[in-house]
Amino acid sequence: RQTELNNCISMLVAGNDRIQTIISQLEDSCQSTEENSEAAKRELCARFDALAALLEEKKAELLQRIAREQADKTAFIQSLVCQYKEQLEKSSRLVETAIQAAEETGGAAFLMGHALTLALSPPRIVEASKGGRLEKIEQGYESMDAFSVSLDHLTEAVHALDFDPAEEDEEYFDGEEEEVEE
């Protein structure tokens, strides 16, 4: 019986040693899991930061293109405003001259005014009436609809982001785990 008891004690001690070894391995695995998780988190953050930086860069580029188009269109419109103001000024001066001529009571004085005759000559009147023939902008010129961007496909892609399911489903078992359960 003594021998049998010693054999049982030896088996129990050997079993406890195996269990202690498994516990140490599991604790090491727990530590490795924590370290690997931190590394995976850093990697994920780095990838998202790089994506965010790329999006910011693209946003800045597109905003710059809109600003250039705005500047071009505004400059063109301002040049038209200047042309129309010049034409209006010429036409207003001619109207004033014509009003002065119309107010002349004496027919001879009216016909004698050399400056008046030049001012009211048909070529000058034609020139002054060209205001409607100056360059114009097309309807909708001020629209910036061409700079509309659809991000729906990117939004869907972001919503679909997930970890690789094949890697997520893999389980890491050690053969010794089965021995403990037996």
Q: Look up the domain containing 55 and give its range.
A: 1-129
Band (pLDDT 50/70/90 cuts) for residue 106 is: low
Residue 121 lies in a domain: yes
Lowest-pLDDT choice from 4-18, 82-96, 144-158: 82-96
Residue 14 lies in a domain: yes
Question: In this predicted model, what pLDDT tens digit does every residue of 147-169 receive, in sequence order?
Answer: 999 999 999 999 999 998 766 55
Residue 145 lies in a domain: no
The answer to whether residue 181 scores a pLDDT higher than 50 is no
- Cα 70 vs. chain centroid, distance in angstroms? 16
Band (pLDDT 50/70/90 cuts) for residue 178 is: very low
Please state, as a whole number, how many other Cβ atoms lie within 10 Å of the Cβ of residue 178.
9
Residue 144 lies in a domain: no
Residue 107 lies in a domain: yes
Structure tokens at 9: 């004690």
Q: What is the pLDDT of residue 109?
A: 58
Which residue stretches of the chain are H helix?
2-103, 107-112, 114-119, 122-128, 152-160, 165-169, 176-181
Residue 100 lies in a domain: yes
Rounded to whole angstroms, the maximal C-alpha distance in the chain is 157
Higher pLDDT pick, 167 / 33: 33
Residues 6+ apart with CB under 8 A from 97: 116, 119, 120
Residues 6+ apart with CB under 8 A from 2: none
Among residues 130, 138, 136, which one has the least CA distance to residue 88?
A: 130
Calculate mean pLDDT across residues 69-81: 96
Calculate mean pLDDT across residues 115-142: 71
Residue 151 lies in a domain: no
The answer to whether residue 35 scores a pLDDT higher than 90 is yes
The answer to whether residue 127 scores a pLDDT higher than 70 is no
Higher pLDDT pick, 144 / 102: 144
Among residues 123, 116, 122, which one has the least CA distance to residue 96?
A: 116
Residue 136 lies in a domain: no
In total, how many domains does the chain have?
Answer: 1
Q: What is the pLDDT of residue 179?
A: 45
